[in-house]
Amino acid sequence: MTEGIGDTLFASMYAAYDGLSAEMKSKLDGLTAFHSSEKLAQRAAEFDGTDARPIESFPDAAEHPVIREHPETGRSALYVNPYFTTHFNGMSREQSQPLIEELTALATADSNVFRHSWRDGDVVMWDNRCVMHFAEYDYADSQPRLMNRTTVS
């Protein structure tokens, strides 16, 4: 891998929650949202540079609290993602979209994001229960990008 290509951005969902107004925290308290990989797979299928086979079926959407308490730290974290959160319980997808966008904008504010520029040999660890991450497609198709992922349970 060449240095500085394929950056990954990490957003602290603790900080996103902490940055919510008292009014917004109250609005989100007890609210759940539905999450599905369907939207992300559709986005990937529309991408010209892929040779991946299209995904033809998806499991049912999973319902999660919008504000989650981390089981080990006890801290509250926002649990909304523009690629997986489809809608909020009791709201249509269209009604949910402005709130998903508002929460995403807060979570991905520059002050809340760490950008890692990968170099050969890098190892990065993060906790998916309190971090949202995004792989930046900021390199040419001719540049190789090989990553190995290990998940600890």
SS (H, E, C) 85-139: EEEECCCCHHHHHHHHHHHHHHHCCHHHEEEECCCCCCCCCCCCCCEEEEECCCC
Residue 147: pLDDT over 80: no
Q: Which segments of 29-84 does DSSP mark as H helices, in order?
A: 38-46
Q: What is the pLDDT of residues 77-129, one digit of tens each?
A: 999 999 899 999 999 999 999 999 999 999 999 999 999 998 888 899 999 99
Least confident span in 12-16, 37-41, 54-58: 54-58
Which residue segments constitute the domains of the chain, with CATH numbers given? 8-135 (3.60.130.10)
pTM for this prediction:
0.82
pLDDT recorded at residue 116: 94
